[in-house]
């Protein structure tokens, strides 16, 4: 059975999931225990200060739905640090407001981490073209600035 509160809390137990649903409270949620494959789910809730902090074990990640808001008054809204294992990723559809750290999501100091942030894959950037002799690709243009010979004559001087 999932842990459902009371909130705010410092959770030090063992549970298959943590559910924060349809609630508003001042303070944070800190995990120093073990949360299983259900992870932490924030649904239709507002955490007014303190954010979500994980220094324990989470196997099912952290999920925030579109109707939720998390404020990290003194630090990040979601802070995962000094952990031994984290899996399941961090998925945010809601609003995260950073505190003094200016980090919406902070991840630091971990021993083992599975795929953490769920973001769409990035397209590879095309390398910039370089001038001959300075890179591997030459420009295809016949007009290479700033050569004056490439300027077009004005008026009827054609």
Secondary structure (3-state) at 36:
strand
Residue 49 near residue 73, CB atoms below 8 Å: yes
Task: Give the start-end residues of each E strand in the chain.
Answer: 9-11, 14-21, 24-25, 29-31, 34-43, 46-47, 52-54, 57-58, 62-64, 69-71, 78-83, 85-86, 90-92, 95-97, 105-110
Q: What is the pLDDT of residues 114-123, one digit of tens each?
A: 554 444 455 5
pTM comes to 0.69
- Sorted by where each begins, the domain ranges of the chain are 9-116
- Give pLDDT tens digits for 14-56: 999 999 999 999 999 999 999 999 999 999 999 999 999 999 9
């Amino acid at each position: 059975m999932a842990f459902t509160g009371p909130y705010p809390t410092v959770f030090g137990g063992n549970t298959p999931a943590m559910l924060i649903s349809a609630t508003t409270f001042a303070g944070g949620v800190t995990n120093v225990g073990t949360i299983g494959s259900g992870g932490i789910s924030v649904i239709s809730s507002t955490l007014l200060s303190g954010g979500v902090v994980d220094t324990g074990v989470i196997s099912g990640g952290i999920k925030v739905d579109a109707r939720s808001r998390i404020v990290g008054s003194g630090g990040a809204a979601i802070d995962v640090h000094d952990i031994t294992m984290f899996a399941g990723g961090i998925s945010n559809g809601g609003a995260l407001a950073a505190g003094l750290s200016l980090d919406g999501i902070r991840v630091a100091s971990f021993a083992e981490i599975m795929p953490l942030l769920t973001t769409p894959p990035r397209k590879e950037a095309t390398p910039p073209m370089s001038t001959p002799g300075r890179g591997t690709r030459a420009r295809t243009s016949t007009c290479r600035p700033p050569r004056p010979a490439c300027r077009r004559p004005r008026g009827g001087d054609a």
